[in-house]
Amino acid sequence: MKPKIILDCDPGHDDAVAMMLAGRTTEIIGVTTVSGNAPLSITTDNALIMTELLQLDVPVHAGAHRPLIVKPSHAEEVHGKTGLDGPKRPAITREVSSNNAVEFIISSIREQDDVWLVPIGPLTNIALAVAQAPDIVEKVAGVSIMGGSTDRGNVTSKGEFNIWADPDAAAIVFDAGFKDLRMAGLNLTHQLGIDDEVISQLAKVGNNTANFIADLFRFYLDAYKERTKGEVAPLHDPCAVLAITHPDLIQFQKKNVQVETRGIHTRGMTVIDDREYSPATLNCDVEYVIDRDAALRVIIDAISTYE
């Protein structure tokens, strides 16, 4: 049986790929959007575009338009002005189901069993849901996050964007006491890199979805090449989906993870307690190693099933 998920996202090139993957490997009961890679109006439009392109019959609920406390920040330098720069942008013909993603999250978890939350943007919606309805912490099947890192950051030396963009929300989520909390951080997602060869493989698939994703990848990879002078771009967000659909491809370790909310140099840092005899509660399954080749096969195989 496919896992049942709510995909909480801020599309975003890699969010689009995560949605595509989830559309074939999970039962998506809803998509919720949040301000992150781009402002909320743009990320919501992008979610509508992707659900239509992928022919996914799922509702899209708009969520938080800003972080809990800090000022909004976006990632135009990576994802472009539209959040999905690269391919020709389709017209938007779908409409949002509501402007209350938090209420959708709460009611879905209360009314259905075995729902997973898969947040792949800032954690604002999830934190608001926990604050308004603490009972969902015990009811939800689990939370699979793309965010944080065991070592480096990307916005700052220690801050990964999704956590850094709303550190107060992230702290609420990591401290909430979820029975199954999984973290795909930069230390893992940089192992799942895309390059020119991956784009060539997508071109060979030949369907419209593959062509769209290939154009996304081309813009995304070129942006990384310009910024880093490297030849590979990390495919972050699909890792959060793979962590629940293909956990056999990932090596996990239980750790205590806390979020630094106010550090001058460390805002948004996910602080991993690596002490041998730590008294701290092991609140998170941190992901350390992913089988890149097998994971890419899963992703490309999923793309090949679309039109």
- The catalytic residues are 236
Nearest to 183 by CA among 253, 113, 135, 268: 253
Question: Do residues 188 and 177 make contact, with C-beta atoms less than 8 angstroms apart?
Answer: no
Question: Do residues 118 and 240 make contact, with C-beta atoms less than 8 angstroms apart?
Answer: yes
Query: Alpha-carbon distance 205 to 304, whole Å?
Result: 6
Unique residue bearing structure tokens 């090949």: 304
Nearest to 47 by CA among 4, 6, 94: 94
Q: What angle do CA 176, 74, 107 make, to 5 degrees?
A: 40
Nearest to 148 by CA among 239, 68, 69, 17: 239
Please give the single-letter amino acid code of residue 301. Answer: D
Query: Alpha-carbon distance 261 to 256, whole Å?
Result: 16
3-class DSSP assignment, residue 222? helix
SS3 content of the chain, % helix, strand, coil (to 5): 40, 20, 40
Q: Which two tokens stand for residue 12?
A: 């975003």
Q: Which two tokens stand for residue 297?
A: 């096969």
On the 0-12 / 13-18 / 19+ scale of CB atoms within 10 A, 105 is: buried
Q: Which helix (H) or strand (E) holds 183?
A: strand 181-184
Question: Do residues 286 and 272 make contact, with C-beta atoms less than 8 angstroms apart?
Answer: yes
